[in-house]
Amino acid sequence: MKFTGLSRSVEDYLKAVYTLNERGEAAGTSQLARVLDVQPASVSGMIRRLAEDGLLEHEPYRGVRLTRAGSREALKVLRRHRIIESYLVQHLGFGWDDVHEEAERLEHAASDALVDRMAEAMGHPTNDPHGAPIPTRGGDIDPTAYPGLDEVATGSRITVRSVSDQDPARLRYFESVGLVPGAEAVVNESESDGDHVTLTVKGGRGPLTLTADVARRVTVIEA
Ligand SMILES: [Zn+2]
């Protein structure tokens, strides 16, 4: 079966399942409804359709996960999204806080050929402006599950690997305190109850205290 011209909503579903699976979260009806901001009833219908098309399969107690075909399609959308974000920042002067919504629209419209040309013009970047890995044209992606900043122990030395691209205000905050991909920091205090994380960013303002909800939007590499 060859999948060509998947609709925008199908692409968004596959991307949402991929993102939830990647974070180790269950991809059930309620989680998908939340991520996609749609009614649970419409999620059930779409899940049935995508399962019939062989793009995802049910996983007992954890909702759904992508089949190999579904994963391939999700990675294509992610590749388009992340290359478009990179191109807007590198070549068109957009700020990293100002590209996600553009990419959400363009990822469904840009052809793979256009996106390949954009990647070539940038020398085939491996990560987008927020640090997220860019799948290759062949569908390979860094499979490492990096921990969230809310998961590392007190005293850890870390390097920021990526930050969530979802919220422009939060991205501006991260930039203002130097919490950007590649930044090094020491975790001064990480509460066992998971309430907040205090850290000192090398060369940045600090120490900073982040709520656990903000901290988990940052993935890190532990030294
Ligand atoms: Zn984005």
167: CA distance to ligand 1 center in Å?
9
**Rounded distance between C-alpha atoms, residue 189 and residue 152, angstroms:** 10
Sign of CA dihedral 193, 168, 222, 199: negative
What is the mean pLDDT of the segment spanning 157-167?
A: 95
107: CA distance to ligand 1 center in Å?
10
Q: What is the pLDDT of residue 5?
A: 60
144: CA distance to ligand 1 center in Å?
20
72: CA distance to ligand 1 center in Å?
19
pLDDT > 70? residue 28: yes
Q: Cite the residue boundaries of each domain of the chain with CATH code 2.30.30.90.
A: 157-222
128: CA distance to ligand 1 center in Å?
9
49: CA distance to ligand 1 center in Å?
26
Q: Which residues pair with 218 in a beta bridge?
A: 163
3: CA distance to ligand 1 center in Å?
24
185: CA distance to ligand 1 center in Å?
24
Q: What is the pLDDT of residue 192?
A: 65
pLDDT digits (tens, 9 = 90+) for 167-214: 999 999 999 999 999 999 999 988 766 689 999 999 877 799 999 989
99: CA distance to ligand 1 center in Å?
7
Whole-prediction pTM value? 0.90
Could you give the angle at which helices 68-92 and 112-121 cross, rounded to 10 degrees? 50
- Closest by CA position to 78, among listed 16, 164, 29, 124: 16
104: CA distance to ligand 1 center in Å?
7
For a pLDDT cut of 90, what percent of the chain falls above it?
Answer: 76
Q: What is the pLDDT of residue 103?
A: 97
Q: What is the pLDDT of residue 75?
A: 96
Domain 157-222 sits in CATH at: 2.30.30.90
pLDDT range class, residue 7, cuts 50, 70, 90:
confident
Contact 86, 67 (CB under 8 A): no
pLDDT > 60? residue 102: yes
pLDDT > 70? residue 62: yes
11: CA distance to ligand 1 center in Å?
14
pLDDT > 70? residue 145: yes
**Rounded distance between C-alpha atoms, residue 69 and residue 77, angstroms:** 13
CATH architecture of 79-142: Orthogonal Bundle (1.10)
pLDDT digits (tens, 9 = 90+) for 108-142: 999 999 999 999 999 999 999 999 999 999 999 99
Domain 8-66 sits in CATH at: 1.10.10.10
85: CA distance to ligand 1 center in Å?
7
Q: Cite the residue boundaries of each domain of the chain with CATH code 1.10.10.10.
A: 8-66, 79-142
pLDDT > 70? residue 4: no
166: CA distance to ligand 1 center in Å?
6
170: CA distance to ligand 1 center in Å?
13
100: CA distance to ligand 1 center in Å?
4
Name the strand (E) or helix (H) holding 198: strand 196-201
pLDDT > 90? residue 2: no
pLDDT > 70? residue 90: yes
Sign of CA dihedral 154, 160, 165, 169: positive
Tell me how far the alpha carbon of residue 142 is from its chain's centroid. 13
pLDDT range class, residue 60, cuts 50, 70, 90:
confident
pLDDT range class, residue 22, cuts 50, 70, 90:
confident
